[in-house]
Structure 1
Amino acid sequence: MGSIQVSQLGKAYKQYPSRWARLAEWFIPFSRPRHQLKWVLQDLSFTVNPGEALGIIGVNGAGKSTLLKMITGTTQPNAGHIHLQGRVAALLELGMGFHPDFSGRQNVFMAGQLLGLGMDELHELMPEIEAFAEIGEYIDQPVRTYSSGMQMRLAFSVATARRPDVLIVDEALSVGDAYFQHKSFARIREFRKAGTTLLIVSHDRQAIQNLCDRAILLANGKLALEGSPEEVMDFYSAMLAEKEQQTVRQERLESGQVRTISGTGEAGFADIALINDQGQRVDVVSVGAMVTLEVTVDVRADVPRLVLGFMIKDRMGQAMYGINTHRLNQPVENLKAGEQVVYRFKFPARLGKGNYSIALSLSRFDSHLDTNYEWRDFALVFHVINIKQADFVGCAWLDSDVSIERSEAVVAATVEG
């Protein structure tokens, strides 16, 4: 079983005002320092327990890739220490370790030895590596002729030819086609079931929430937040929308879930309700029942264009359905401070049994990343039960109509002559 322990980790690079200052520091070793330290990561601590999956999230430049390079040993830290237990396989920069003039097969043997595999073992694994990569005759062509997707296929196949104790994956998988991404994540899930410890960097919300037990958010080289994948991804999404005079805050609900709220506050939610056909507020609905999501919005400052969107998510945070008034061609324009707008979305609750939440956003256009007035997760929580429909499995009720045709058996006649 593999584990990772990072304690008070720090990484800094020297910055010189000019190349002459760098030369002066080299040739006059006992003079004053002529550089400043630029800290990429500072005082970072976390633990990944055996068999656990941790997602790392952050904007470009937050220090994610630097952290992975230090964990895998390709870069050394300036402070703190890292303790790894078990055999580690890493998929970092695309094609890292591949020589462009060597064939894919030759690179498999070189990269495999760097991962600690012997030549006999690699000869034994080669057919499986070829089959999983699915690059055909290109396996014997120079890697410089490969597309980025082909390089990723081969690199992932080598890195996962043997189940590692610890698997570290950077954004490299994002360059692959949808088919191979699905295939790769299926293998990662198999490894997880078998006990592999996973450390993954991704901006893909579904990948983080499906694969990970916990997530951490890096911001400005420090640990900004640690928690459940959904909680951290919600906060990260709010951070992306954050602009001047905009706030991001989190509230813990009675259920223990964390609600993230962000926005400029020029418009905000005054009331949110789920209403049944009898006009009653409900938090329990039956499969297929007609319901209306009623949202009242207060306009606190002049707003040139207002778009309301909602997203229904399951208990794991996966999106079930989302729509907004921009896509429905129904934005409200030229609103004045003091006005109030009531939105009503009517739809059948064609959902499977379980708990669901609704996230809401008020923005200027299609995305809350463009002028986010207010964005709120867990704005409303409701439960779906099945008391009228045939029992079914899954997250969506499709109400399938079946027809069955049965024919009588045909008996062959024999004639004796």
Structure 2
Amino acid sequence: MVFPDRASRPLWRCWLWPYWRQALPVMRLCVMGSPMNSESGVAGSSSQAAGSAVKVQGLCKDFASFASPWDRLVEWGTLGRYCRHETIPALTDVTFDLRRGGALALVGANGAGKSTLLKIVSGTLFPTAGRVEVSGRVASLLELGMGFQPEFSGRENIVFNGRFLGLKDHEIQDRMADIIAFAELEHAIQRPLRTYSSGMLLRLAFAVVAHVDPDILVIDEALAVGDAYFTQKCLVRIRRFRRDGVTLLFASHDPLAVKSLCDEALLLVEGRCLDWGSPDSVLEHYNSLVARGRSSRAILNMEGVPARVSRRSGTEGNSRRSGNSRALVAGFSLTDASGTACRSFMAGDEGIVRIRALFLDHVNEPTVGLLIRDRLGNDVYGTNTWQQQVSTGSCRPGDLLEVGFRIPLNLGPGEYSLTVALHTLESHVHDSFDWIDRLLVFRILSPPAARFTGTAFLRPTLDVTAPVPLQDLQTWTGTLTAAFGGEPPRMYQVGESTPPWFFQGWYPAERGQEDWFAWTRPSFGFIIDLRGSFLELEVGARPDSRGDQATEADISMGPVSLGRFVVAGGAGWTSLRIPIPPEVSGCAGLVRVTVPGWRASAAGEGGDPRLLGLRVRRIHVT
């Protein structure tokens, strides 16, 4: 749909347009229960060009700002004849075409229009003018908590949000257990959402989005509030979406996430599309804007401007300046290797710091130095002309001396400040001419091809030996013994506590009519002493009304497959007697079992939402 300009609208639409235009998407979402898919509004279109998931042409969005409620009332009461609002443009003539299966990152400073654009694509906001075509189911993670009801429990909000995203009730119930498990909020799922922290809200919101099976995934910087563990978990799921052909529209201030997740980037500056291309080129363009101060208030506000630093007050802004004024810092610059002003570098890039000193007194062999500190104020690296044994000559009053430092910035990711100093000899403590602390701030980014943590970029050389089967049984057994605090037993009788040798896929033990047993997931494992001839398992399949059907179990010991075995259905128990192959006998081994999964709740046999495999009562090696 093409949205007309205000000048071409009838009078009655001029004053109603700003209000019903914003209300229409919300009303349509409430009626349909999913993002819009019709020809009008921000919609998916059957006429959309083949291969395009999101197509935006000439998109504009204006917001009306009133100085007071009375101004709003006057404009309403006069049917728009008296315009009392200020028009604030959020987006101006934005155009792009995102192909199916592609990933586009929106890059820009706060207030550039990224969130507004994502809301329009998601169908929660109407544009002022332009065309937006969306093809497929959209799942969006916009403002944190958007679409949630604070008085509802976490479980109720999963249902509510799932309906909002277009899932049917039976689909939501089938995925409920997986959503709760992904969010890891089992302990809080019955509590009202108002008791959740921002990180818990993110967990719940992303878990719902991750199980919608969307065609288009829209994320607006929401991952920034999560802890490191869950953020990595989300990134893994997003990469899986990408492998499955899901289209990604992603807004972030994290350059690493932009480069690793997206194959295209769009630079927004004050609501306009300034650049569109590969993430590397767009981020380089954005960094150049940061260096020129157009989009870098967050960085530049941390710096002091030496021309404004008062010698009497000692400070202005965040800089601190001191010294006897025999020489003054007259200028400075930080550039990349090509000489372009820059405040963001990849770890390992070369930075050039140039310091110009104006002398007010005669000084023989003055020292010019610099000091790099991290964001906590810790000294990371410092040097000067004295320590580098570089002669600076004899300077007279009125002389201007310039010294350049070429430094490989082998630093860890983060923000660093630069301090400069003019003095004599090795240290400024004895005779300091001019010392300016925190003169400028720059940022180091981790290279996508060599990620690391810490404060130093050491560039290691790695060699990897291809994995081979371990032949030394003593090493195998010794490693397991050291890790688990003892040798594994030859028999397990399931009891109240789960032994540490139950490796993966086990639910807590339960008390049955006869004895203790434990449910497993469809895939589970355990470590056991295999010094024997047979592995015996006492197991049971689903005991419900449909449990008369047998279940097939695939069992393997390490790399050796033992084949497929049949577990009888019903409430009884089946004893499996499995020969232990000679190549794995005589040591502790990892046994894995895989069976078809099922849910009691889906089968109408109770409300247990867990994904189940087998019942296990006893494991023994004979």
Would the TM-score normalized by the shorter structure come out above 0.5? yes
Quick one: distance in 1 between partners of 2:443 and 2:205? 39
Residue in structure 1 matched with residue 65 of structure 2 by the alignment: 15
Deviates more, 1:76-85 or 1:329-338: 329-338
Q: 1:329 aligns with which of 382, 387, 393?
A: 382
Contact 1:298 1:338 in 2 (8 A): no
Q: TM-score, normalised by structure 1?
A: 0.67
Structure-2 change in CA distance of 1:109 and 1:294 (3 Å) = closer
User: Cα offset for 1:78?
Assistant: 0.5
Is 1:4 the counterpart of 2:54 in the alignment?
yes
Determine if the alignment matches structure 1 residue 182 to structure 2 residue 232. Answer: yes
C-alpha displacement of 1:363: 7.1
Query: CA contact under 8 A between 2:371 and 2:381: conserved in structure 1?
Result: no
- Give the Cα separation in 2 of the matches to 1:207 and 1:408: 43
CA contact (8 A) 2:139 2:212 kept: no
Task: Indicate the structure whose relative CO is greater, using CA pairs within 8 Å and at least 6 residues apart.
Answer: 1
TM-score by length of structure 2 reads 0.46
Cross-structure match for 1:228: 278
| Contact 1:94-1:152 within 8 A present in 2 as well | yes
Is residue 147 of structure 1 aligned with residue 147 of structure 2?
A: no
Aligned equivalent of 1:47, options 97, 112, 115 = 97
Instruction: Determine the C-alpha separation between the residues in 2 that align with 1:10 and 1:365.
Output: 44
Q: Which deviations, in whole Å up to 9, do the C-alpha atoms of 1:261-314 show, x marking residues without a partner? A: xxx984466978xxxxxxxxxxxxxxxxxxx999876545659864689xxxxx
In structure 2, list runs of 5 or more residues that go unmatched: 1-50, 297-329, 339-347, 360-367, 387-391, 421-437, 446-458, 476-622
Q: What is the distance in 2 between the residues matched to 1:270 and 1:104?
A: 50
Q: Is the 8 A contact 1:10 1:40 kept in 2?
A: yes
The code of the aligned residue for 1:364 comes to L
- The SS at the match of 2:172 is helix
> For residues 270 and 190 of structure 1, what CA distance do their matches in structure 2 show?
36
Q: Corresponding residue for 2:156?
A: 106
In 1, Cα distance between equivalents of 2:180 and 2:441:
51
Residue in structure 1 matched with residue 461 of structure 2 by the alignment: 397
Question: Aligned letter for 2:189?
Answer: I
Q: CA deviation at 1:75?
A: 1.0
Task: Quote the residue 1:340 is aligned against.
Answer: 403
Aligned 1:137-286 pairs, distance under 5 A: 137-243=187-293, 266-267=332-333
Task: Confirm or deny that 1:364 pairs with 2:418.
Answer: yes
Counterpart-to-counterpart distance in 2, 1:93 and 1:191:
21
Q: Deviations over 1:146-168 (max 9, x none)?
A: 11111111110101103211000
Q: 26-35 or 46-55, which moves further after superposition?
A: 26-35
- The alpha carbon displacement at 1:118 in A equals 0.3
Structure 1 unaligned spans of 5+: 247-263, 273-291, 310-324, 348-360, 378-394, 410-417
Aligned: 1:71 with 2:71: no
State the shift of 1:60 in Å.
Answer: 1.1
Aligned residue for 2:167, secondary structure, equals coil
CA, structure 1 residues 363+265, in 2 after alignment: closer, same or farther (shift >3 Å)? farther
Equivalents in 1 of 2:88, 2:334: separation in Å? 40
Using the TM superposition, give the Cα deviation of residue 338 of structure 1 relative to its aligned residue in structure 2, in angstroms.
3.9
Aligned to 1:277: none
Contact map agreement 1:241 1:372 (CA 8 A) in 2: no
Larger Rg: 2
CA displacement at 1:229 relative to structure 2: 1.0
Contact 1:266 1:301 in 2 (8 A): no
The answer (yes or no) to whether the contact 2:59–2:127 under 8 Å persists in 1 is yes
User: For 1:364, what is the secondary structure of its paired residue?
Assistant: strand
Q: Please say if residues 152 and 176 of structure 1, whose CA atoms lie closer than 8 Å, have aligned partners that are also in contact.
A: yes
User: RMSD of the alignment, in Å?
Assistant: 4.3
Q: Determine the C-alpha separation between the residues in 1 that align with 2:62 and 2:331.
A: 38
Question: Does the aligned pair in 1 maintain the 2:332–2:356 contact within 8 Å?
Answer: yes
Q: Which moved more, 1:39-48 or 1:297-306?
A: 297-306
Number of positions where the alignment pairs a residue of Structure 1 with one of Structure 2: 325
When residues 139 and 53 of structure 1 are mapped into structure 2, their CA distance, relative to the original with a 3 A threshold, is same
Residue 140 of structure 1 aligns to a residue whose secondary structure is coil
